[in-house]
Amino acid sequence: MNAIIHVVDDDQAMRHSLAFLLKSLGHPVESHDSAEAFLRHWQPGLAGCLVLDVRMPGMSGLELQRHLEDSGNTLSIVFLSGHGDIPMVVRAMRAGALQFLEKPCNDQVLLDTVADGLRQSVAAAAEWRQSVHIQSRLEQLTPREAAVMQLVAEGKPNKVIAHELDISIKTVEVHRAHVMEKMEAGSVAELTRLLMEAKGKP
């Protein structure tokens, strides 16, 4: 998965300096002069690291972080600011930021932090895409198939499912076969795992 490093800072000189440094990690680097400019290019499920200033005209870095977290963000976020204070740092970290670094920052510390963020983001993006794929399969099920699937995942035999849903065992078998096909599951154990992933459980 191709991960991209995004630099969002209203200071042009800082953007250019950071982009030059971060390109040494071997990933594409995109620079944006505002949170709004970044959002015009952002899509949910992308892998990468966002190196983000806090105080900018328009939407602040913390506001951008909150917006992303409400919209399916899988980018790691590293704040880099010369205006940090303890409440701001705590707020950013509690909201899921990877790190909050002060300007000027040691180059190697920044590179190591962003490299770690890229690794975490690639994994998060892969999980997000898998979840979306599972949800698309779930949406293909009819209400009756969904009901049968839930009882199958609970380990109930066809006879019990037929009784609970007031349908014939043959009908259960047909629905069960459709469920396994649409969910692309080769076993009940795999079907159960898919349902747990769809619900966000490990």
Helix axis angle, 169-182 relative to 158-165, nearest 10°? 110
pLDDT greater than 70 at residue 107: yes
All domains in the chain, ordered by first residue: 4-130 (3.40.50.2300), 140-198 (1.10.10.10)
Percentage of the chain beyond pLDDT 70 is 97
> What pLDDT was estimated at residue 2?
83
Mean pLDDT of 133-146: 92
Exposure pattern of 70-109 as b/e (b: 16+ CB <10 Å)?
eeebbbbbbbbbeebeeebbeebeeeebbbbbeeebeeee
Residue 62 dihedral angles phi and psi, to the nearest 5°: -65, -35
Task: Express each pLDDT in 3-18 by its tens digit.
Answer: 999 999 999 999 999 9
In whole angstroms, give the CA distance from residue 38 to residue 71. Answer: 14
pLDDT in tens, 14-68: 999 999 999 999 999 999 999 999 999 898 889 999 999 999 999 999 999 999 9
The DSSP symbol for 7 reads: E
Whether the per-residue pLDDT at 84 is higher than 80: the answer is no
What is the reported pLDDT for 23? 96
Q: How far is CA 27 from CA 1, 15, 65, 107, in A?
A: 11, 16, 22, 16
Which of helix, strand or coil describes residue 180?
Answer: helix
pTM: 0.76
Q: Which residues contact 35 (CB under 8 A, 6 or more apart)?
A: 8, 56, 58, 59, 60, 61, 63, 64, 67
Of 74, 63, 71, nearest in space to 8 by CA: 63
pLDDT of residue 40: 94
